[in-house]
Amino acid sequence: MSLLFDHVIGSFDLDGASLCVPDDDALDDHGDVVPVRPVAEFAGHHDELAHPEADWVCIPLHEPNSAQVTDEFVAFTDHSLHGGIFVFERDGKRDFVDADAFGATGLADRIRFWHSDYVPETYPPSYDSPVDDSEPARNPIPSTELLDGLRSHVEREREATRRQNRERAERRSPDGVYEAGGDAVPELHARGRDDGTYRFHVDPPADVAARQDGDWAFVVESVFGIHEGNEVLVHDVDGTRENGPFPVPATVERIRGRSVWVAVDWAEVDGATALESALTDGDTTYGLTAVLNPVPFDREREAIDSLADHRFRDVLAGDRPITFSNGAAARSNQFDAELNQEQQLAVEHALLADDLFCIHGPPGTGKTRTLVEIVRRAAQAGEDVLVCADSNQAVDNLVAGSSRSDEADPQSLHAYGQHGDGDYTLDRVNASQSANDVVRRAYSDVPGRADVVAVTNNSAATLAREFDLVVLDEATQSTCAASCIPLVRADRAVLAGDHRQLPPYSASDEPPESSYGHSLFEHLYADGGVYDGVGLQLQTQYRMHRDIAYFPNRRFYDRTLRNGRAIDPLPDRPAIEGYNVGGRVETVGHSKSNPTEARLVAHLVEDLLSDVPANEIGVITPYSAQVSRIRETLTERTDAGDRVTVDTIDSFQGGERTAIVLSLVRSNAEGTVGFLGRPVDGPCRLNVALTRAKQYCAVVADWHTLRYDVDGKCTDLYSDFYQFVSNTDRLNDVDPEFIPV
């Protein structure tokens, strides 16, 4: 239930203990209700707490006002007639109290510290910290190898991105790329040659022209996503020059309003004379598609070069121990009194860290809340704090969370900055471009020097200042190289994430070629990492019904997660269930869709709407084509369809809903499941999918395809999942002809 209870169980001598004999007033209602069922549930997983004669789980009692364990216990059992009860001795006989009523008694107070939500003022002398004052590297690597590996990864990723984007641009027109949300200018016309470059004039679509209303400043950058320095392809949109060397590789040299100057990469062009004539023909309609924005890669290279002379080089290579003696913990006071034991320990060690500290935060364990407390206390201690994540969405989640204009989310930085309690001044770099309304309004113009600065990893390169502490959230979604950008701007770092979920994005569909394509969090903390296991895992999850959490906990988290509170399932439904259905799989570009599954998903969503608001239902799937298919089907079936979130698993990472319907799409006799079967990241993707739901999770799939054994596939994972759903009578076979959609 908590790190402390783990410790106590290991040292408790049941043979020398006795069933407790409580005072009469210890059974009175004391008002505060201790969540005793999760404590009993956790104790039940430990054979050493099983009574040798009775069918009891024996829970040690601690002293009334401290966490010091006694030689008494209270027993829990699931009685055939009375249900869950707690057993004790009274008047020489065994007596009991119903489990729900027991939680409010004074006797229940004597097991409260076994639950993470209750934090003792002091810990027993025998209780050791999970981290020593000095932790040596477990798996050091030569620093030259580290730097060379990082540089090589950046260049491989640069080339892979260039190749991937060019292949996509050559297959589609600029207008097609633009309409699909990509970076492209659908239409422009030549305006002649200018000092070795070719000038073009952008002719925007009618809706863009109306929206801009004559203000063309930065329209190419903000609307079409084309920037100075971009590598692009110039297309002959009219198709009038069939024999020309189009599309033509070029680089954007300058942008002024609607004018764009490009320099042609002549080394890759055949027929230079004909092209010279074509690019000065003002009657031909051209288009631009982006091939590569070199800025992110250049910033990563610059950060790696800076790392060579930075104190973090030795840390990342494991050339010295990491230590815990920083004074920020002593110079600050606890703000959030409701942090549980692991969260408090994580905060304390993060503030004590002289170099870095890793916080492993599985789903629903309060990682964001913990990071907010770290930032508040570091600012109180007089430190300048840099807060980063790889995406704007992740940064804004930490900055504003679910804040509204009239109410700040108490688990966000916004609640404690200048617009809240005033603990610090907070700045959000590039706030005017944020998709979050609260962020845009509150942080577009922050005067003076802020105590806390929030920015994406890549944009941290634009900051002209140094920081005492960098807090890197969702650190497992950022590559080592990308994380180096904020890292070299700070003296010490706190990394938080979950390496059991999706890894950083790669330009290739395959997992990274080297460990440097993984996250810095994995490089340091995960199995085989430089400081393997030096950090702290948050172990109490508050999001999911225990049946939803059961399989991920057993399969992905080595049974380390505890259920912090009882979550009720939806009425008349199991918390998790599977639907077995086949169906034709269609290939759409590089993606897949399954119309039969889409129909079944729509039916399940319609049924859920009687119990769950539309905005609390999520539908997730591995494939973007299935996202489109499900959206279409939902729109046809229900007026509430546009309020139901439908997205890919990857895009939904970090999200949660009351109810989740998962569509896995693949259906074939060969057992092929594509990237879902890759042993490197297939389990991570399934973990993300199964841990988004709070009260209900439905898994729609062809279960034969999932568990059929194929070489190179993580068959054991899907077989195990099938056994879990099937053996608990939660698998429903569906005949496609009877789906009422």
Mind listing the pLDDT tens digit for each residue in 591-609? 999 999 999 999 999 999 9
Could you tell me which residue, 282 or 546, shows the higher pLDDT?
546
Could you tell me which residue, 306 or 45, shows the higher pLDDT?
306
pLDDT at 492: 97
Find the mean pLDDT for residues 421-446. 95
The per-type count for the chain, helices as H runs and strands as E runs, is 23, 30
Please report how many Cα atoms fall inside a 13 Å half-sphere around the Cα of residue 357, on the Cβ side.
29
pLDDT of 273 strictly over 70:
no
pLDDT at 242: 59
Could you tell me which residue, 517 or 725, shows the higher pLDDT?
725
pLDDT at 45: 79
**Which residues have C-beta within 8 Å of that of residue 65, sequence separation ≥ 6?**
none
Secondary structure in 3-state letters for 268-328? HCCCHHHHHHHCCCCCCEEEEEEEECCHHHHHHHHHHHHHCCCCHHHHHHCCCCEEECCCC
CA separation for the pair 546, 550 (Å, rounded): 6
pLDDT at 127: 79
Secondary structure in 3-state letters for 33-88? CCCHHHHHHHHCCCHHHECCCCCCEEEEEECCCCCCEEEEEEEEEEECCCEEEEEE
Other Cβ atoms less than 10 A from the Cβ of 53: the count is 5
Could you tell me which residue, 544 or 510, shows the higher pLDDT?
544
Question: What are the structural domains, with CATH classification, of the chain?
Answer: 3-114 (no CATH), 184-292 (2.40.30.20), 297-538 (3.40.50.300), 546-733 (3.40.50.300)
CA separation for the pair 482, 507 (Å, rounded): 14
Please report how many Cα atoms fall inside a 13 Å half-sphere around the Cα of residue 332, on the Cβ side.
24
pLDDT of 741 strictly over 80:
no
pLDDT at 122: 82
CA separation for the pair 326, 490 (Å, rounded): 14
User: What letter would DSSP give residue 381?
Assistant: T
Most confident of 192-206, 326-340, 417-431: 417-431
* Cβ neighbourhood burial of 511 (10 Å; 0-12, 13-18, 19+): middle
Which residue in 523, 518, 532, 455 sits closest to 490, CA to CA? 455
CA separation for the pair 118, 109 (Å, rounded): 10
Which residue in 297, 302, 275 sits closest to 286, CA to CA? 275
Task: Answer whether the bond into residue 613 is a cis peptide, omega within 30°.
Answer: no
From 132-146, 263-277, 359-373, 406-420, the region with the lowest mean pLDDT: 263-277
**Which residues have C-beta within 8 Å of that of residue 346, sequence separation ≥ 6?**
357, 359, 370, 374, 536, 538
Mind listing the pLDDT tens digit for each residue in 560-578? 999 999 999 999 999 999 9
Residue % of the chain over a pLDDT of 90: 77
CA separation for the pair 210, 20 (Å, rounded): 79
Displacement of CA 11 from its chain's centroid (Å): 36
Q: Cα dist. 40→102, 380, 543 in Å?
A: 12, 39, 19
Find the mean pLDDT for residues 686-705. 97
Mind listing the pLDDT tens digit for each residue in 631-670? 999 999 999 989 999 999 999 988 999 999 999 999 999 9
pLDDT at 1: 44
Displacement of CA 249 from its chain's centroid (Å): 37
pLDDT at 437: 95
For residues 123, 124, 127, 131, the Cα torsion angle rounded to the nearest 10 degrees is 30
Query: Tokens at residue 548, please?
Result: 């939803």
Q: Where does the pLDDT of residue 540 fall: very low under 50, low under 70, confident under 90, or very high at 90 and above?
A: very high
pLDDT at 241: 58
**Which residues have C-beta within 8 Å of that of residue 659, sequence separation ≥ 6?**
570, 608, 612, 616, 617, 618, 693, 694, 695, 696, 697, 698
Which residue in 207, 176, 210 sits closest to 287, CA to CA? 176
Residue with tokens 């990469």: 265
Q: Cα dist. 249→166, 178, 234, 236 in Å?
A: 9, 18, 6, 12
The end-to-end CA distance of the chain, in Å, is 45
197-202 and 184-194 strand pairing:
antiparallel
Mind listing the pLDDT tens digit for each residue in 381-395? 999 999 999 999 999
The whole-model pTM stands at 0.85
pLDDT of 696 strictly over 70:
yes
Any alpha helices (H) in 180-218, and if so which ranges? 206-212
pLDDT of 515 strictly over 80:
no
Phi then psi dihedrals of residue 484, to 5 deg: -65, -25
CA separation for the pair 318, 216 (Å, rounded): 52
pLDDT at 508: 64
pLDDT at 24: 83
pLDDT at 513: 62
Mind listing the pLDDT tens digit for each residue in 225-266? 999 999 999 998 877 655 568 889 999 999 999 999 999 998
pLDDT at 168: 84
Query: Tokens at residue 30, please?
Result: 């004391």
Average pLDDT of every residue of the chain = 92
